[in-house]
Amino acid sequence: MATIKDIAKKANVSISTVSRVLNGDQSISVKDETRKKIYEAVEELEYVPLIEKYSKRQKEDKELNLLIITSFTQSVEIEDPYYLSIFYGIELEAKDRDINIEKIYRNDEDFEYDSEIDIDGIIAIGSFSDEEIDKFNKLTDHIVFVDREVNSDKFDSIVVNLKKVIDDILEYLLEQGFNKIGFIGGRDENVNGLQDQRERAFIEYMTQKGLYEEEYMILGEFSIDSGYNIARESIDSDNLPEAYVVANDSMAIGVLRALHEKGIKVPEDLSIISINDIPTSKFSIPPLTTVKIHTEFMGMMAVRTLIERIENKRQLPITVNIPTEMIIRGSVKLD
């Protein structure tokens, strides 16, 4: 069984650094590259914090029951590999620890949970309103949010620094000589259409550089169909930038199809870069340049963080930032 010492040796860092990173210590300053090495070592060595303690509890106490709540419908999950991968990570970790999980999706009206099983903790995936969060909190105090940082002084969160992701993308595009850069994204109607982090970060960065052009901002829904439809509208308006930053790979694949149908070559005529690195992104034509988000690991960390809080009766919340990686393929014209 791997130990923190093994992780430290594998990642070539100190034991204290590993411990503080895995416990979400926000006071430590660690490079993203170092965090990435630590998390990769954790995955490779299959390190599981508190597993011995948890196994002992399983023998002496009842099994844990976790409720997975998603802010989207089941059909959305089926169509979006991003969310499927997060849930797969949750399932893997739960199965490894003999944890019972139950899942509910957003329906047309509300979240409904009428099970008689006592809930030990909740993993909430996506964006939720304050009213919905209050409803979850009535079921249990043990809640971890995935993909969104929510009320960080009270709840645990497993997130990606999307502002840094966008900043890195735009810095990369500027280095390749692009100045006319557009954004294709969406709004989350589940939380009153609040501005998406990626959209906000894009506007801030481009405004600081004096390059922001509102006419190159296109918003729809986070789906292949939406990416396809809004790209066609943009093409028909005959007002295209040199490159588009697309909020996720699913939208980007729709954009690529629309461009192909209109005879616009990628990356010769227009470059595309997106976020997530879903499995199909490497098989698109051309293969997508994208920023990889370790979604499966996000799901695994959600379970681990929740178990640690339950077992240790931890009161202070933590936010775990999962590092990302830019995958250079063929959809950006290189300088």
State the pLDDT at residue 53.
Answer: 44
Q: Average of pLDDT values for 237-255? A: 95
Q: Determine the average pLDDT of the residues in 279-294.
A: 97
Tell me: pLDDT of 51 over 80: no
Please determine, for residue 56, whether its predicted confidence score (pLDDT) is greater than 70: no
Alpha carbon distance 23, 321 (integer Å): 11
Quote the CA–CA distance of 163 and 182 in Å, as a whole number. Answer: 16
The predicted structure's pLDDT at residue 80: 83
**In this model, does residue 111 exceed pLDDT 70?**
no
Asked whether the beta carbons of 214 and 239 are under 8 A apart, the reply is no
Annotate 157-220 with DSSP letters as a single string.
EEE--HHHHHHHHHHHHHHTT--SEEEEEE-BGGGTTBPPHHHHHHHHHHHHTT---GGGEEEE
Report residue 43's pLDDT band, with 50, 70 and 90 as the boundaries. Answer: confident
Give the pLDDT confidence score for residue 108 in this predicted structure: 46
Mean pLDDT along residues 312-325: 94
Question: pLDDT tier at 189 (50, 70, 90 boundaries)?
Answer: low
Higher pLDDT pick, 219 / 191: 219
pLDDT over 80 at 326, yes or no: yes
Q: How many Å apart are CA 56 and CA 160, to the nearest integer?
A: 33
pLDDT at position 98 is: 92
Whether the bond into 241 is cis, omega within 30 of 0: no
In sequence order, the β-bridge partners of residue 220 are 186
Give the separation between CA 223 and CA 229, rounded to whole angstroms: 10
The whole-number average pLDDT for the span 190-208 is 85
In the three-class reduction of DSSP (H, G, I as helix; E, B as strand; rest coil), residue 263 is classed as: coil
CA 227 to centroid of chain Cα atoms: 19
- Can you give the pLDDT at residue 129? 87
Q: How many CB atoms lie within 10 A of CB 179?
A: 14
How confident is residue 2, by pLDDT bands cut at 50, 70 and 90? confident
Q: Would you tell me the crossing angle of helices 4-11 and 15-22 to the nearest 10 degrees?
A: 110
Distances (CA, A) of 74 to 12, 60, 70, 87, 126: 42, 36, 9, 12, 13
Tens of pLDDT, residue by residue over 78-105, are 778 899 999 999 999 999 999 999 988 8
Are the C-beta atoms of 144 and 121 separated by less than 8 Å?
yes
What average pLDDT is seen over the chain? 88
Mean pLDDT is highest, among 53-57, 115-119, 269-273, for 269-273
- What pLDDT does residue 96 have? 92
Distance CA(167)–CA(183), nearest Å, equals 13
Whether 221 and 249 have beta carbons less than 8 Å apart is answered as: no
Residue 45 buriedness (CB in 10 A; 0-12 / 13-18 / 19+): middle
Assess contact for 70 and 106: CB atoms under 8 A: yes
Range picked from 94-103, 115-124, 321-330 for highest mean pLDDT: 321-330
Q: Where are the alpha helices (DSSP H) in the chain?
A: 4-11, 15-22, 32-45, 51-60, 74-79, 81-96, 130-139, 162-175, 197-208, 224-236, 249-261, 295-312
pTM of the full structure: 0.78
C-alpha 271/C-alpha 93 separation (Å) is 38
Q: Please state whether the peptide bond connecting residue 286 to the residue before it is cis, i.e. omega within 30 degrees of 0.
A: yes
The least confident of 68-77, 188-197, 276-285 is 188-197
Domains annotated for the chain, with CATH where assigned, are 1-47 (1.10.260.40), 162-293 (3.40.50.2300)
Q: Are strands 289-293 and 324-327 parallel, antiparallel or unpaired?
A: antiparallel
